[in-house]
Amino acid sequence: MTAAIATSGLVKTFGSTRALDRLDLTVDTGEVHGFLGPNGAGKSTTIRVLLGLLRADSGRVEVLGGDPWHDAVAMHRRMAYVPGDVELWPNLTGGEAIDLLGRLRGGLNKARRAELIERLDLDPTKKGRTYSKGNRQKVAIVAALASDAELLLLDEPTAGLDPLMEVVFQDVINQVKAQGRTVLLSSHILAQVEELADKVSIIRHGEIVQSGTLAEMRHLTRTTIEADTSRPVTGLELMPGVHDLEAADGRVRFAVDGDHLNDAVQALSHFDIRSMTSHPPTLEELMLRHYGEELAAAGNGNGEER
């Protein structure tokens, strides 16, 4: 499989801020790639470098086999972009903005445009200044997805959409995926990425700290086990890879590293398991492993990216 996006050692600084710090990101053709990270981690900056709107200070960028800074126009014919914070022209209607952006890219599929407007429940006759944030977002989504672009760069595309529209959006992205197109989806909404993404990259302080399929990443992390046993559990906390064990009144709860899951469950079975639940690490937990200290400091991690 060829790579739709390949960067290595990407560095971008703004004054004294190092927004991207040797970023290595690879997105294979035909995959939906989740791009996760908190505010200011460098997600939007990465996407703008991939679009050739910003020039990297150093490092290599290849998008669809070309250099986005030098061949911006040729690349852009094959790419579509949804910005994280959509601004529209106050005196152009949403429909006009969709057509203008689509035509400037080299044409858009009218049937798909109509279908998307219908499904996203967008009124294309309203002027740009009258749209709410969610509706501006819909305009950008329709403009991008009604194209035949092979690569979609979506920067938090559903920020401001209601849950119903979120479901529609997921469905649309699944269609795009079925057509074999490539999607880079940056998001805070972990459930959405979990639902859609084949692979995930986690960015922190301008570098990718982890990248892989969800299965691979889960393997690297801990599974949480809760069980009721007939006999009190003893000695399990001494086993390698077992963490945070709490036991009381015949109930036990612990986390276990992927490598030691089998040993731990075998050991547990000696205490006569009456019921057991296990859940794989959620992306929240994957993120927390990398961002624990920042999330604790910030109090919440769901603010908007600026």
Helix ranges (DSSP H) in 155-260: 163-178, 190-196, 214-219
Interface pick for another protein out of 18, 22, 77, 289 (rule CB under 8 A)? 77
Q: Binding string to another protein for residues 105 to 144, with x set by CB under 8 A, is what?
A: xx-----------------xxxx-xx---------x--x-
Nearer to another protein, 106 or 240 (CB): 106
Q: Which range, of 90-98, 161-169, 264-272, 288-296, touches another protein by CB under 8 A?
A: 90-98
Q: How far is the CB of 123 from another protein (least distance, A)?
A: 8
- Shortest Å, Cβ 73 to another protein: 5
Transcribe 22-78 into DSSP letters.
Answer: EEEEEEETT-EEEEE--TTSSHHHHHHHHTTSS--SEEEEEETTB-TTTSHHHHHTT
Question: Which phi and psi (to 5°) does residue 42 adopt?
Answer: 115, 15
Which residues fall within 8 angstroms of residue 5, CB to CB, at 6 or more apart? 25, 26, 27, 33, 50, 62, 63, 151, 182, 184
Instruction: Return all residues near 122 (Cβ < 8 A) that are at least 6 apart.
Output: 94, 116, 135, 138, 139, 142
Stretch that binds another protein, among 22-30, 86-94, 190-198, 272-280 (CB under 8 A): 86-94
Would you call 262 helix, strand, or coil by DSSP?
helix
Query: Would you tell me how many other CB atoms lie within 10 Å of the CB of residue 210?
Result: 18
Closest CB to another protein among 92 and 265?
A: 92
Q: Which of 54, 141, 28, 27 is nearest to 94 (CA)?
A: 141
Q: Please tell me whether residue 81 binds another protein under the rule CB under 8 A.
A: yes
95 forms part of the interface with another protein (CB under 8 A): yes
Helix residue ranges per DSSP H, the chain:
43-50, 72-76, 94-105, 110-119, 133-145, 163-178, 190-196, 214-219, 261-269, 283-298
Residue 231 sits in the site that holds another protein (CB under 8 A):
no
Q: Does 59 contact another protein by CB under 8 A?
A: no
Q: Which 17-56 positions form the footprint of another protein (CB under 8 A)?
A: 44, 48, 51, 53-55
CB closer to another protein, 10 vs 225: 10
**Binding string, residues 235-254; x marks residues near another protein by CB under 8 A:** --------------------
Least distance in angstroms from the C-beta of 45 to another protein = 9
Given the rule CB under 8 A, which residues bind another protein?
44, 48, 51, 53-55, 72-74, 76-77, 79-81, 83, 85-89, 91-93, 95-101, 103-106, 124-127, 129-130, 140, 143, 153, 306
